[in-house]
Amino acid sequence: MKAEEWDRAAPGWERQRERTQVFAGPVSRRMVELLRPQASWTVLEVAAGPGETGFLAAGSVERLISTDYSPRMVEVARRRAAELDLQNVELVVMDAQRLDLPDGAVDGILCRWGYMLVDDPAAALAEARRVLRPGGRLVFAIWAEAERNPWATILGRILVERGHVEPPEPAAPGMFTLADRELLEGLVRGAGFGDLSAEDVELTAPYRDVDDFLGVQLDMAAQTGVIVQALPAEEYEEVRAELARRFERFRSGEALLLPGVSRIVTAS
């Protein structure tokens, strides 16, 4: 998604903040644990979106620089930082591939679900290496393999099968671009990092029903949700019915519990 697309999505991300954090919170918390922030540190969050991951670290460090290349996402984060009364946070519009910081400016970097979406992840990782001080730590999250994330893939597959969207290009930026472990390791080591490790975190996305799921997708301007909304009424109902059928195996009582797996990578 381009910056203007994320700008359009920002209000929905703000409205869905609490719900998103129920799903994403385990990843954010584990990322901060693995960063092991110190009181004297300056920490940079890249592709911060609403800023929640970095804000978890803010109370443990001297300075947090929260960045995103969408100006409206930065404003969302700014409002949240004010709600939390965070006094040591700078909120800046910045592209992960061109960080406007001097060499060795930060002690740690966080990036939750950002590097797989940039045009050039190698450039973004090289920039992270450049702005980290010697011995600094990078912790970032990506999505594990598509088949382990039905919460994110089932609707897209239905749309592809019915001819509403083209199959994704394997090399194009996207949720699962960095799920290949060999590719990921090559990019991280190629950027100059060592001490590389990775761990998977299992997640659950709870929804009341398929309409609840589609409503959230549309509110957060997810591309698949927008495509579904634009369908003629009869086709919409057919897609919705097929989605409900495939989601049924994830029903637990009155709720749908859609599983996912995120991978957290740590390097120094």
The CB density around residue 87, as the number of other CB atoms within 10 Å, is 7
For residue 102, the model assigns a pLDDT of 98
Q: How far is CA 116 from CA 25, 92, 120, 175, 218, in A?
A: 19, 21, 9, 6, 22
Predicted local distance difference test score (pLDDT) of residue 221: 78
CATH code for position 169? 3.40.50.150
Domain that holds residue 123: 3-267
- To the nearest 10 degrees (0 to 180), the angle between helices 3-15 and 17-35 is 110
Residue 162 is predicted with a pLDDT of 95
**What tokens appear for 186 in the block?**
């090559």
Q: Which helix (H) or strand (E) holds 68?
A: strand 63-68
Tokens representing 159 are 């749309």
State the total domains in the chain: 1
d(CA 202, CA 144): 10
pLDDT of residue 168: 82
pTM: 0.95
Burial of 147 (0-12, 13-18, 19+ CB in 10 A): exposed
| b/e per residue 218-241 (b: at least 16 CB within 10 A) | bbbbbebbebbeebeeeeeeebbe
Using the structure block, give the residue that is written with the tokens 């190698």: 122
pLDDT averaged per 10 residues, the chain (length 268): 86 94 96 98 98 98 98 97 98 97 98 96 98 97 97 95 88 90 97 96 96 93 84 95 97 96 98
Burial class (CB in 10 A: 0-12, 13-18, 19+), 163: exposed
Q: Which pLDDT value is given to residue 229?
A: 87
